[in-house]
Amino acid sequence: MKSTMKLRQTVFSAVVIAGLIICSCTPTEKGSAPASVNYPVEYTLSKADLMDKIKGGWAGQVIGCTYGGPTEFQYNGTMIQDYIPIEWDETRMEWYYNNAPGLYDDIYMDLTFVEVFEKEGLDAPASSHAHAFAYADYMLWHANQAARYNIMNGIEPPASGHWENNPHADDIDFQIEADFAGLMNPGMVNSSSEVCDRVGHIMNYGDGWYGGVYVAAMYALSFWSDDVEFIVKEALKSIPEQSEFYQCIDDVIGWYEVNPGDWKQTWFEVERLWSSDIGCPDGVFRSFNIDAKINAAYIVIGMLYGDGDFGKTVDISTRCGQDSDCNPASAGGILGTILGYDAIPGYWKQGLDRVEDMDFKYTTISLNDTYDMGYRQAIEMIKRNGGEELDDGLKIKVDEPVPVKFEKAFEGHYPVKSIRAPWTGLPLVAGGPTEYSFDFTGKGFVLKGGARKLQGVTEDLNLLVEVYVDGEMHEEAILPTGYQGRRHELTWKYNLVQGDHTVKVVWKNPEEGYRIDVNNAIIYGTEP
């Protein structure tokens, strides 16, 4: 942390020396990038422009997601080199809609929440969103799946996203699903943050939640300003400065200001300082990184170095690697909102007309439906927040972004060791071993694994395990064999007293044809 702060001070000094500090002023026209704004600000947006920007936001997401789809998690800890082609033509979106619709989890997850607001009104509580999301037909992973399991087993939000109940709390999940919160709050960052509080804590906490708050803030500001640098900086006001998420994005901005011509140099700086994931059990000790803040850094790299060019922005965010469909989806959606649908270059909209009337998989909602719902909800939000609906326009009140509450996941926990089962996967089976135990020194652990049925078995069951820590019952856990309701990890426990511990897992209802796989255990200590 100290090295990061020292670097930030060095960057700031370099900016001052370069004479880049901009005088304080109030933006009176698009494109201005003031160092400060005299809030509150009122501005008027025509209804046609409101719809154009909402359409641009949703369409930009689909375009970015499609473009990066073939590269998703194919380049972990490395950028996608310029000589590697990423194809684009008029058939891409239609092909994915028909053959790999799960690519658009970014969008149909958003639409779950949009639809709840449509059915129940803008005061729909977190519980409504949580249950609509948990019992939907689509497949989920990481923080989303951990939250689904929690909700299905009686752990409601915000506990469903809290890091002690969800080892994926810092993952990217809400960051890729928060677009709707900004798009329904034109110019109104604090209102979008309130929506994010309700929905984002279903599946995330701390930096994982901040990712969604920040992305939504950038969307909201994109209705008001078309200056990308201003939007990136001003949206960051919604994030507490003491958070690592803030510090990571602030570093990206600083590196850009010192070196605005080379995105790859900034990418290397991000890797050097911010690529160590401590939460996600699938990413700790591996190059795979689904942490929200580093993937948000890739969004911001694309936006800052993209110079307002749609194709360049999406391409750079993709070539940063890791979650390289979700990141260009966010960058493309934000820039699509800035530009508006009509101004997205025709090259990037080719094939869009083929899918706009097609329902997203697992929904009865098309892009055209989404445009209309988003437009209606945005008008209602404007009126709720001190704005006014005019005959052919909307008067919108913009308040200064206020930091949301500070929260930190995995505080005082550092991955120190990975303990493997005796072989690649130790199975607990009926008629064989039904217990597994291991010893460790530390203050927490996550034991990976899960339940499954053997080949030829069709019926799913809920397998039951008892977990003991130091001889005391920690939990009785349900392990569904069905993929939809699965538990993402076998068991975990944080905030133990630093020291020697023993964990024992006992399968209580062994059944022929089923097994419980025990994989590696990630051990946490008090120091890196």
Q: Is 231 helix (H, G, I), strand (E, B) or coil?
A: helix
176 near 290, Cβ under 8 Å?
Answer: no
Query: What whole-number distance in Å separates Cα of residue 55 and Cα of residue 104?
Result: 17
Domain annotation covers residue 430: yes
The last residue of a domain, from among 355, 373, 398: 398
φ, ψ of residue 377 to 5 degrees: the values are: -65, -35
Position 175 scores a pLDDT of 98
φ, ψ of residue 181 to 5 degrees: the values are: -65, -35
Say if residue 468 is in the same domain as residue 323.
no
Position 23 scores a pLDDT of 29
Count of domains for the chain:
2
95 near 403, Cβ under 8 Å?
Answer: no
Position 423 scores a pLDDT of 64
The last residue of a domain, from among 398, 429, 453: 398
Domain annotation covers residue 408: no
Domain annotation covers residue 60: yes
3-class secondary structure per residue, 120-131: HCCCCCHHHHHH
227 near 31, Cβ under 8 Å?
Answer: yes
28 near 224, Cβ under 8 Å?
Answer: no
Domain annotation covers residue 409: no
- Tens of pLDDT along 19-78? 332 223 333 333 334 557 999 999 999 999 999 999 999 999 999 999 999 999 999 999
The last residue of a domain, from among 354, 372, 398: 398
Position 259 scores a pLDDT of 96
Domain annotation covers residue 40: yes
Position 95 scores a pLDDT of 97
Instruction: Please give the single-letter amino acid code of residue 513.
Output: G
Say if residue 310 is in the same domain as residue 458.
no
Say if residue 207 is in the same domain as residue 299.
yes
Domain annotation covers residue 406: no
Say if residue 384 is in the same domain as residue 490.
no
Say if residue 310 is in the same domain as residue 431.
no
Domain annotation covers residue 432: yes
Position 343 scores a pLDDT of 98
Say if residue 23 is in the same domain as residue 90.
yes
Say if residue 260 is in the same domain as residue 307.
yes
Position 426 scores a pLDDT of 83
Instruction: Please give the single-letter amino acid code of residue 202.
Output: I
| 261: pLDDT strictly greater than 80 | yes
Domain range enclosing 154: 2-398
Say if residue 219 is in the same domain as residue 137.
yes
Mean pLDDT of 210-217: 98
Say if residue 36 is in the same domain as residue 157.
yes
Q: What is the DSSP letter of 156?
A: -
Say if residue 278 is in the same domain as residue 133.
yes
Position 17 scores a pLDDT of 29
Query: What whole-number distance in Å separates Cα of residue 67 and Cα of residue 58?
Result: 15
- The whole-chain average pLDDT of the chain stands at 93
DSSP 385-442: TT-EE-SSEEEEEEPPP-------TTTT-EEEEEEPPSSSSEEEETTS--EEEEEEEE
Q: What is the CATH number of the domain that holds 174?
A: 1.10.4080.10
Query: What whole-number distance in Å separates Cα of residue 178 and Cα of residue 523?
Result: 32
Q: What is the CATH number of the domain that holds 468?
A: 2.60.120.260
Position 14 scores a pLDDT of 35
| 152: pLDDT strictly greater than 90 | yes
Say if residue 463 is in the same domain as residue 378.
no
Say if residue 218 is in the same domain as residue 304.
yes
Domain annotation covers residue 190: yes
pTM, rounded to two decimals: 0.93
